[in-house]
Homo-oligomer: A and B are copies of this chain.
Amino acid sequence: MRQVYEIMSSNTVPSAVIRRMPRYYRYLGDLLSRGITRISSADLSRRMNVTASQIRQDLNHFGGFGQQGYGYHVETLYNEIGHILGLDQEYRVIIIGAGNLGQAVAKYTNFNKRGYKVMALFDSDPALAGTIVGGNPVYHVDTLPEYLSEHPTDIAVLSIPKVGANEVAEVLIDNGIQAIWNFASLDLQIDPGKVVVENVHLSDSLRVLTYRLKQLREAEKGTAE
């Protein structure tokens, strides 16, 4: 039975559905914090600006959690989605690159609240080694293999420039890291069977925004003429 579930969840859930799950989790968390215990699928749909049928279809990939005529029980659904996403476990996190972005991630207290435990930062700058960032030690990046052999780690944040990022990723993977949160502005060359990578390409995002701004302005110009 477990095998069937695994096959279902790893192979048949479309990537777009998976990407929407954290958004459901976020909205349900908000409802929960405001003391709302149940919600109709129509109301949830209106708030999230997706169709009720979309919500139903998405949740059905994981078994479905609504009851006809009742809607959704907020806390149950919140916990179920948290479980699906693996958020009911703790993850030990290291951050490679103690520059501005790495420090911002290290100091982002919400991560520590929510099951992600930052353990240490690493940097190639010897001047940073030995300092403390957000309560966590900064080590020299050359000590990564030694650190990882002694401290089992779940997730590595890559907040370094693209030059050298593939080499660092290789060291991480060779030393047992299975998940990389990549902020470096390149697509890592890695074996997808051994490690999962989630990219945050900030420049790409800003460029999409710029494109849309340009489109908006051209549309306005068209209307004004």
Contact = CB atoms under 8 A, between A and B. Distances in A.
A178 interface: yes
Interface string A59-103: 000000000000000000000000011110101000000011101
Interface stretch (A106-114, A123-131, A135-143, A168-176): A106-114
Nearest to A7: B222
Interface in A1-33: 3, 6, 9-10, 18-19, 21-23, 25-26, 30
A210 B19 CA distance: 12
Interface stretch (A36-44, A144-152, A201-209): A201-209
A22 B204 contact: yes
A205 B182 CA distance: 10
Contacts of A19: 204, 208
Contact of A203 (B110, B210, B215, B216): B110
Contact of A111 (B30, B154, B206): B206
B26 A204 contact: yes
Nearest to A196: B212
Mostly helix, strand, loop or mixed at chain A's interface? helix
A152 to B, nearest CB: 13
Which of A87, A211, A215 gathers most chain B CB within 10 Å? A211
Interface residues of A, number: 63
Contact of A211 (B18, B100, B104, B154): B18
A203 B99 CA distance: 20
Interface in A164-193: 178-179, 181, 185-187
A201 B22 contact: yes
Contacts of A215: 6, 9-10, 196
Contacts of A208: 18-19, 21-22, 85, 198
9 contacts: A9-B218, A21-B208, A22-B201, A22-B204, A26-B185, A26-B204, A100-B108, A155-B206, A198-B209
